[in-house]
Amino acid sequence: MTGADREPVYRFGRGSEMARDASRVEAFSDAVIAIVLTLMAVELLAFDPDLPQDDGLAAVLMQEWRAYLAYVITFAIVGQVWLTHHNMWRYVRRVDQMLLVLNLLLLMFVAAIPFTADLLADNLRGTVRDQRLTAALYVGVVLGEALFFNLSWWWARRRGLLHPDLDPRLASAVARRFRLGPLLYLVAFAIVFIDPLLSLLAYLLLVGVYLVRGPGDLPPAGQEAPDTP
Amino acid sequence: MTGADREPVYRFGRGSEMARDASRVEAFSDAVIAIVLTLMAVELLAFDPDLPQDDGLAAVLMQEWRAYLAYVITFAIVGQVWLTHHNMWRYVRRVDQMLLVLNLLLLMFVAAIPFTADLLADNLRGTVRDQRLTAALYVGVVLGEALFFNLSWWWARRRGLLHPDLDPRLASAVARRFRLGPLLYLVAFAIVFIDPLLSLLAYLLLVGVYLVRGPGDLPPAGQEAPDTP
Amino acid sequence: MTGADREPVYRFGRGSEMARDASRVEAFSDAVIAIVLTLMAVELLAFDPDLPQDDGLAAVLMQEWRAYLAYVITFAIVGQVWLTHHNMWRYVRRVDQMLLVLNLLLLMFVAAIPFTADLLADNLRGTVRDQRLTAALYVGVVLGEALFFNLSWWWARRRGLLHPDLDPRLASAVARRFRLGPLLYLVAFAIVFIDPLLSLLAYLLLVGVYLVRGPGDLPPAGQEAPDTP
Amino acid sequence: MTGADREPVYRFGRGSEMARDASRVEAFSDAVIAIVLTLMAVELLAFDPDLPQDDGLAAVLMQEWRAYLAYVITFAIVGQVWLTHHNMWRYVRRVDQMLLVLNLLLLMFVAAIPFTADLLADNLRGTVRDQRLTAALYVGVVLGEALFFNLSWWWARRRGLLHPDLDPRLASAVARRFRLGPLLYLVAFAIVFIDPLLSLLAYLLLVGVYLVRGPGDLPPAGQEAPDTP
């Protein structure tokens, strides 16, 4: 934080101001993701008003298991978006206008998640028929996110916005992982044409792997692999 | 904050970056809890559209007292979740992927609170009959939270993610308290089979005790017990 | 921040950890207030579906002016709650369990604002008749907030949770102002029995005075009065 | 941060406390903007329940393209508000009561965006006829924002609340840009009387230019123009 203002600047704000910059981007993104997550919960868990309630609450809840499945799947996806964002932005030290725009475009896709989650739940319930289109929209949103994660990372690396102490090999590993994501999602999407439910399970599996390993392939804290072989 | 990078790291970010890490987890969790709390307020306090409004506003409000009771109960529970989260995470200095995942799973249960609160209000109003199932769902959500608080704390202790200056006896006290929570909640739940309203009151009592004492059994600031006898 | 750990502590965390504590309370409260504010906007500004739309959009908007008045009034009140919270908590350096509970109880009243704002709008529209009860609820919520602001400040002063450099005369001035608020609100409330609209205007006037002067009676930055006469 | 308390202060809090002040304003504004953005997404992307669903999901989605256009347009506008806020407040080092009030008034217009976005979507769908009034409301909200950005910046400069190291020429450049915004928006508004859709496209173009260049005319990080010719 100290002694980083070596050169004359038209625009001040290296060091601590810049750190506040990145923090603010994180806070704003966090707020969007948190609202998406909670609104999605409220929508998905609410009872379908068209369901008959004569059979008691237990029967209604039974009939709604598909909505709860959609909740778990979508929560996993939103959770993974947050984790990926967290794991990427912890390495970002400064921001510029383009990185902010790329992050906003990412959030535009994130904010569309409750919509697709609702479609997914309707689909699982059988209210809406067109399973392939639903899955296509779902995948479209996920691919949009993956795209802008890739672009953000690529831009931050190219413009030197990352932390100067970041190991270049780690930066490359993150980029490789970010590139891999869309490919895997496309495979999961292709399974839709075989069986929609299978496609969702493939998704969940992928997300689970991501959740456990993390996009930056971070070893557990306290056990960092040493830098040299 | 400075001079903490003594060892070679594959993954940089000890010290200030790590503190930002934990702050971000707190900020994200705060956002989720805040939205849950406010959405719950909006839902519970809204008038039941099926209620006759002929008798004037006072009569409607009288009929709605159960919804207001549900509001106070659920607010107490959500408030206690926030307090517990606050009191636990103030001791967390670093995060790893698994702690983030455990925290997300905790939030998955937190985000389901408006759903159970709505069920509770419907139940108190008599719109939905199945009181035992409602209470079971309510307790299920609360137990889920308690479970992931326990797992988070256990993991953070085991992996050395807590603040190095944290007194091990305090860490143990927190763990004991976290283990006690689910047990007490289960007792409150068992009372459902005697009387659902009594069960809720037992809950409120438990939450009240937690609110006053705090999960870490913290003495009031400025009066900390000295470390040695 | 440094050198504040003079005494043996069972509970660590003086200095920077404590500052993070207070920041987190602020962030959580901010999130609740922000959601209240935005949800209130969405509810109040939405069209009343019962209104005839035959006369074109302009006629509908004309008929809805009362909802917009309710929006401005409630926004002023929520805005003032945020300002008061901001101005009070900037002096808080440490938190204890009781202060957190008092803050949560304050937020319980804040989260009820969209409900009363909706009642107010219905009242102004003439959909709900009972103006005195509406005003009573409105004032009840505002008084609840004022009460817990008073209790928070009183507790924080008594327990030494405020910043050590805070001038005791400023602390007293804030307390005096906090005590004055409920009195003025009660006067505005009494006017309800003369004329409800007049009462709202009295409110708006009071809030306006608060907005311009600030609860801590803070002189404009850069022009601080010197400490001695 | 240290050693900044040189003069006697009635109101303490220069330095780190002040930085917390500005951070809190940012966090609160972020929360409001994030909620606006996400609620807007939920509202605009939800299906119009009056649409016939007989033709399958694809047909429904086709009919809804206007809502998606409204989503992209409004997202761009809200995104730009956030960027402008971010780019302005990064230079703010201290706050006073009036700046807080100006920021709250700005947020009052921001919180009205979902309302106007909904009107816009209804308009594009043809549900609401009065295109000129809709556009007028839309522009009114945008102009209100532009007005309070201008007032905030003017006040912060006049009262010396900006960072002391900020180049005065940059402060002037920001002010010039802020003044230009309303003029351009008024031109886009005038086009409404020729063709409403053309007006929206003009808007989108303006917002796009702002997104790429940024209100403070910031050169990309790492390529700052040197201070002297």
- pLDDT tens string C55-100: 666 776 776 777 787 788 788 888 888 888 988 888 888 888 888 8
The pLDDT score that the predictor gives to residue B102 is 92
Q: Which residues in chain B are contacts of A73 at CB distance < 8 A?
A: none
Q: Is the pLDDT of residue D103 over 90?
A: yes
The shortest CB-CB distance from B79 to any of C13, C24, C104 is to C104
Q: Which residues in chain B are contacts of A46 at CB distance < 8 A?
A: 115, 118
Pairwise pLDDT comparison (D4 vs A171), residue with the higher score = A171
SS3 C168: helix
Residue B69 is encoded by which pair of tokens?
Answer: 């009771």
Rounded CA gap, D200 and D119, in Å?
13
DSSP secondary structure, B197-225, as one string:
HHHHHHHHHHHHHHHHH-TT-PPPTT-PP
User: Cα dist. B202→A66, B122, B187, B199 in Å?
Assistant: 33, 20, 9, 5
Test D11 with C41 for CB contact under 8 angstroms.
no
Residue type, A7: E
Looking up tokens 């949009």, which residue turns up?
Answer: A144
The pLDDT score that the predictor gives to residue B219 is 40
Rounded CA gap, A26 and B2, in Å?
23
Residue type, D78: V
The percentage of residues in chain C with a pLDDT greater than 70, rounded to a whole number, is: 70
Pairwise pLDDT comparison (D4 vs A129), residue with the higher score = A129
The pLDDT score that the predictor gives to residue A47 is 61
Alpha helices in chain B (DSSP H): 16-45, 56-63, 65-89, 97-110, 113-125, 131-158, 168-190, 196-213
Q: Which residues in chain C are contacts of B212 at CB distance < 8 A?
A: 97-98, 101
The shortest CB-CB distance from C225 to any of D10, D94, D98 is to D10
User: Cα dist. B18→B4, B100, B183, C58, C167 in Å?
Assistant: 11, 13, 34, 55, 35
Test B107 with A58 for CB contact under 8 angstroms.
no
Q: Which residues in chain C are contacts of B72 at CB distance < 8 A?
A: 108
Residue type, A175: A
Confidence bin at B151 (pLDDT 50/70/90)? very high
Quick count: other Cβ atoms within 10 Å of Cβ B225?
11
Burial of C59 (0-12, 13-18, 19+ CB in 10 A): middle
Q: Which residues in chain D are contacts of C45 at CB distance < 8 A?
A: 112, 114-115
The shortest CB-CB distance from A39 to any of D42, D79, D86 is to D42
Which DSSP category does B55 fall into? Answer: T
Query: Which chain C residue has its CA at the smallest distance from B38's CA?
Result: C111
Would you say D70 and D44 are in contact if contact means Cβ atoms under 8 Å apart? yes
Q: Which residues in chain D are contacts of A163 at CB distance < 8 A?
A: none
The pLDDT score that the predictor gives to residue A220 is 37
For residue D83, the distance in angstroms to the closest alpha carbon of chain A comes to 7
> What value, to the nearest 5°, has the Cα angle with vertex A147 and ends A146 and A153?
90
Rounded CA gap, B147 and B152, in Å?
9
Test B170 with C108 for CB contact under 8 angstroms.
no
> What value, to the nearest 5°, has the Cα angle with vertex A117 and ends A111 and A123?
150
Confidence bin at D177 (pLDDT 50/70/90)? confident
Rounded CA gap, A99 and A105, in Å?
10
Rounded CA gap, A73 and A139, in Å?
13
Which DSSP category does D166 fall into? Answer: S
Query: Which chain B residue has its CA at the smallest distance from A79's CA?
Result: B104
Test B227 with C9 for CB contact under 8 angstroms.
yes
Rounded CA gap, B225 and C11, in Å?
8
For residue D54, the distance in angstroms to the closest alpha carbon of chain C comes to 26
Query: Which chain B residue has its CA at the smallest distance from A24's CA?
Result: B24
Pairwise pLDDT comparison (B191 vs C109), residue with the higher score = C109
Q: Which residues in chain C are contacts of D119 at CB distance < 8 A?
A: 57
Rounded CA gap, C37 and C52, in Å?
28
Q: Report pLDDT digits (tens) over D43-86.
A: 777 765 555 555 666 776 776 777 787 788 888 888 888 888 98
For residue D173, the distance in angstroms to the closest alpha carbon of chain A comes to 11
Test A160 with D211 for CB contact under 8 angstroms.
no
DSSP secondary structure, chain A, as one string:
--S---S--SS--TTHHHHHHHHHHHHHHHHHHHHHHHHHHHHHHS--TTS--TT-HHHHHHHTHHHHHHHHHHHHHHHHHHHHHHHHHTTB----HHHHHHHHHHHHHHTTHHHHHHHHHHHHHTSS--HHHHHHHHHHHHHHHHHHHHHHHHHHHHTT-B-TTS-HHHHHHHHHHHHHHHHHHHHHHHGGGT-HHHHHHHHHHHHHHHHHH-TT-PPPTT-PPPS--
Q: Which residues in chain C are contacts of D39 at CB distance < 8 A?
A: 38-39, 42
Indicate the range of B1-5, D148-152, D188-192 predicted with least confidence.
B1-5
Which candidate in A25, A57, A64, A224 is best for mutational testing of the B interface (most B CBs within 10 A)? A57
Mean confidence (pLDDT) of chain B: 73
Which candidate in D38, D96, D97, D122 is best for mutational testing of the C interface (most C CBs within 10 A)? D97
Test D8 with C226 for CB contact under 8 angstroms.
yes
Query: Which chain A residue has its CA at the smallest distance from B134's CA?
Result: A57
Indicate the range of B205-214, C8-17, C193-202 predicted with least confidence.
C8-17
For residue B129, the distance in angstroms to the closest alpha carbon of chain A comes to 7
The shortest CB-CB distance from D34 to any of A13, A28, A97 is to A28
The pLDDT score that the predictor gives to residue C138 is 76
D90: CB partners within 8 A, 6+ apart: A13, A17, A20, A21, A24
Q: Which residues in chain D are contacts of C36 at CB distance < 8 A?
A: none
Residue C50 is encoded by which pair of tokens?
Answer: 């019962």
User: Cα dist. B10→A50, A83, A174 in Å?
Assistant: 55, 19, 13
Residue type, D187: V
The shortest CB-CB distance from B96 to any of A91, A211, A221 is to A221
C107: CB partners within 8 A, 6+ apart: B37, B79, C29, C32
Test B12 with A167 for CB contact under 8 angstroms.
yes
Test D114 with C41 for CB contact under 8 angstroms.
yes
SS3 C99: helix
Which candidate in C1, C26, C35 is best for mutational testing of the B interface (most B CBs within 10 A)? C35
On the CB side of C48, CA atoms within 13 Å amount to 21
User: Cα dist. D50→A138, D47, D54, D119 in Å?
Assistant: 24, 8, 12, 16
Residue A166 is encoded by which pair of tokens?
Answer: 């970041």
The shortest CB-CB distance from D214 to any of A21, A97, A114 is to A97
For residue D225, the distance in angstroms to the closest alpha carbon of chain C comes to 32
The shortest CB-CB distance from B220 to any of C20, C96, C130 is to C96
Burial of C172 (0-12, 13-18, 19+ CB in 10 A): exposed
Indicate the range of B155-164, C126-135, D65-74, D180-189 predicted with least confidence.
C126-135
Confidence bin at D11 (pLDDT 50/70/90)? very low
Pairwise pLDDT comparison (B145 vs B206), residue with the higher score = B145
Residue B94 is encoded by which pair of tokens?
Answer: 């670093």
The pLDDT score that the predictor gives to residue C201 is 77
Which candidate in C1, C30, C83, C93 is best for mutational testing of the D interface (most D CBs within 10 A)? C30
SS3 D162: strand
Sign of CA dihedral D99, D103, D108, D109: positive
Indicate the range of A25-29, B63-67, C148-152 predicted with least confidence.
B63-67
Touching chains, C (3+ CB pairs < 8 A): B, D
**Ranges in chain A, pLDDT < 70:** 1-20, 47-58, 60, 63, 125-132, 192, 196, 210-229
Test B96 with A216 for CB contact under 8 angstroms.
no
Touching chains, B (3+ CB pairs < 8 A): A, C
Q: Report pLDDT digits (tens) over C6-56.
A: 333 334 443 344 455 777 888 899 999 999 988 888 877 776 555 555 566
Burial of D114 (0-12, 13-18, 19+ CB in 10 A): buried
Q: Which residues in chain B are contacts of A214 at CB distance < 8 A?
A: 97
Q: Which residues in chain B are contacts of A79 at CB distance < 8 A?
A: 101, 104, 107-108
Would you say C84 and C109 are in contact if contact means Cβ atoms under 8 Å apart? no
Test A130 with D56 for CB contact under 8 angstroms.
yes
Q: Which residues in chain C are contacts of D48 at CB distance < 8 A?
A: none
Test A220 with B98 for CB contact under 8 angstroms.
yes
SS3 B48: coil
The pLDDT score that the predictor gives to residue A48 is 54
Q: How many residues does chain A have?
A: 229
Q: Is the pLDDT of residue D122 over 80?
A: no
Test D45 with A115 for CB contact under 8 angstroms.
yes
Test A32 with D27 for CB contact under 8 angstroms.
no
Q: Is the pLDDT of residue B214 over 70?
A: no
Residue type, B24: R
Rounded CA gap, A148 and A14, in Å?
26
The shortest CB-CB distance from B114 to any of A42, A224, A227 is to A42
B92: phi then psi, degrees, rounded to nearest 5: -85, 125
Q: Is the pLDDT of residue C226 over 50?
A: no
Number of residue pairs across A and D with CB atoms under 8 Å? 135
Would you say D162 and A3 are in contact if contact means Cβ atoms under 8 Å apart? no
D15: phi then psi, degrees, rounded to nearest 5: 75, -125
Test D163 with A12 for CB contact under 8 angstroms.
yes
Long-range contacts of A7-10 (CB under 8 A, 24+ apart): A7/D226, A8/D226, A8/D227, A8/D228, A9/D224, A9/D227, A10/D167, A10/D169, A10/D170, A10/D219, A10/D224, A10/D225, A10/D226, A10/D227
The pLDDT score that the predictor gives to residue A33 is 92
User: Cα torsion for A103, A29, D149, C47, to the nearest 10°?
Assistant: 110
Interhelix angle A196-213/A168-190, nearest 10 degrees: 170
In this prediction, residues B143-156 reach a mean pLDDT of 89
Pairwise pLDDT comparison (D70 vs C102), residue with the higher score = C102
Test D225 with A10 for CB contact under 8 angstroms.
yes
Q: What b/e sequence results for A161-194 when a residue is b if at least 16 CB atoms lie within 10 Å of its CB, and e otherwise?
A: bbbeebbeebbebbeebbeebbebbeebbebbee
Residue C10 is encoded by which pair of tokens?
Answer: 């069972």
Would you say C125 and C48 are in contact if contact means Cβ atoms under 8 Å apart? yes
The pLDDT score that the predictor gives to residue B137 is 78
Residue type, B96: D
The pLDDT score that the predictor gives to residue B206 is 76
D92: phi then psi, degrees, rounded to nearest 5: -85, 125
Q: What b/e sequence results for C194-226 when a residue is b if at least 16 CB atoms lie within 10 Å of its CB, and e otherwise?
A: eebeebbebbbebbeebbeebbbebeebeebee
In this prediction the pTM is 0.80
The pLDDT score that the predictor gives to residue B139 is 75
